[in-house]
Chains A and B, each alone.
Chain A
């Protein structure tokens, strides 16, 4: 009997010791200890640090009103249907169509457009495939909500759309600078042009199919 009680107490001590050891996990909601943090933390304001000097407490300021950054290019077409038509009429792609620019356009398209518009511009990107977002019109077979076929869009119209967005597509001007937008435009135009013979063939097939029925 005495032996048993002793065993029991021994077990209890062991369990308590184990519990103590395992309870000391690292708390992942805390960054951990810092020694001499003034070597780590900048006395100057960092880009995203809060700032007590300004009313909106943001360190990352926008340029002063009435000024512009160097090499800033204006896009003097308003976000209206008239602006869209005018941009489509007046503007040509300022970049030469070559493999380097097309590759850059492809890279940017794959990172900024493809999740909705799809790898071949069919409006079937990964985000659309999840069913959470309605598909944009296909570049190849779709119809633009501002009239005409998607594949007939001029570079100026595409640039205007990336800059301001349309319908459910938001403006991508904050993510892509004008040069990048023009290169995407170049790549998209290239996709549309490459698909045109295929579309023509598809249409004739569809027509003959309909005749047979």
Chain B
């Protein structure tokens, strides 16, 4: 007895660990994927949200970048596992690997580019058809700092979002406008029960799920 570290005495008890599960300490983990045409600012939005930075010349994403960001809303800690995907059309067939199993998606378009808005609509359609049915989708009209040369009207996009049950904001990765807000809005909308917590733990999509052939998913 005397030789074991047990002889420490009372002070040791102070380090006893507190158990988990105090009610104010709920935490959830969600997989979020960014989709949208090439060069609409997906990576810039993530960079602004995660690091508070903006690069005028953001390199084109060839692949899928993975970043995490945690925010607190009310008494819940929400950790986003963000997959920022490549927008180039040739990588389209790989997108299901990233939105499969995602609890949230931000579909991004550029308010100066009508095509990118149309492309966003097809992404939304594809998500509704093939992503998990409870996925929370937000539509982001990015580059809102350039609203004087916009071609996609705010009201038009807003109406589309309402009709399709999407969250909608115009954002600017450059100025930071609405960037945190859109993630926060998503976090608020996500179900934060235990089920969601468990679901959200799969960081990496794995190929075991049987899904349709990866090529040409979006018809």
**A and B associate in one complex:** no
